[in-house]
Amino acid sequence: MSNKQRTIAEVISFSGKGLHTGELVTMKVCPAEADRGIVFRRVDLKGAPEVAALAHNVCDTSRGTTIKDGKAKVSTIEHILSALWTMGIDNALIEIDAPETPIMDGSARAYAAEIERVGTVEQDAERKWFEVEEEFLFEIPKKGVRVVITPAEEYSVNVTVDYNSTVVGVQQHRYDDSVNYREEIAPCRTFVFLHEIELLLKLGLIKGGSVESAMVVVEKPISESTKKRICKTFGREDIEVERGYLSHQPLRFENEIARHKLLDILGDLALLGRRIRGHVEALRPGHYANTQMAQLLEKNLK
């Protein structure tokens, strides 16, 4: 990877619904000057307040990563951040007219495709790096969650997921500079277990969710009444259970869940605001663990 900072070559725009709010949103990713970092601007609010995509601005990690600075608050930022940062963009201004990014198809595929289409521009400033010189660990033993970063010459991330699920099984996937992010990581969709859906709806979440934007894992056979209720929830009549997933769409990869968790952690660790030279080993990672690690690294910046 080049040691020079980069920004996006031209403005790219996306529209859709927020996963949890269900609100329609338009989001524009614009070029930004060197050393600006990745910053969100809430153009729908008076004064268009901004919030930098940095670890200390994280305020919530329930079913997504949310950042806040004053009146500026933006949720579910991990997918766009994952695509921008992993595809080499250090500086970008993201103008958004709602409190949550568009979920698109539940992955970062559309984001990555547009970034690749317009390209990036090298800037006259050196990249900032975090050189991992010692082990950093965050874990929640009771939940089997563990994220550890150890010294290495290049950046790499290995993710393992194990939810004691007969459908999901144990899945793994790895990212390093040899991996084509746009083709191998970006297309992987978010997921949810069927038993979680009604709870999330009661909490006022996933208002913009659909079977097109998420993999729904079904651990046990479902009754006709449950099926009808789920069909009504998502406004469909043709939902079936195939290979343990509630969807008419095939898996994009056999280990798509692990790959999506990898997509997420790449976005969450980008909140450090610096490129990492080190190896990340993550077991059952989630937004809370990911952002706790980003904050731990942030506190150790030299």
The active-site residue out of 173, 260, 279, 287 is 287
CA gap 35, 45 in Å, rounded: 25
Joined tokens for residue 55 = 């670890």
**Contact 22/208 with Cβ under 8 angstroms?**
yes
Q: Return contacts of 255-259, CB within 8 angstroms, 24+ apart.
A: 255/171, 255/172, 255/173, 256/188, 256/189, 256/191, 256/215, 257/161, 257/168, 257/171, 257/188, 257/191, 257/215, 257/217, 258/159, 258/160, 258/161, 258/171, 258/172, 258/173, 259/173, 259/184, 259/185, 259/188
Q: Is 183 helix (H, G, I), strand (E, B) or coil?
A: helix
Joined tokens for residue 114 = 């547009």
Distances 214 to 111, 217, 260 between C-alpha atoms, Å: 17, 9, 11
> Measured in whole angstroms, how far is the alpha carbon of residue 114 from the centre of its chain?
17
Phi, psi of 301 (to 5 degrees): -65, 140
CA gap 251, 253 in Å, rounded: 5
* 248 is an active site residue: no
In terms of phi and psi (left: phi > 0; alpha: psi -120 to 50; beta: otherwise), the region of 3 is alpha
Joined tokens for residue 81 = 């951040």
State the catalytic residues. Answer: 287
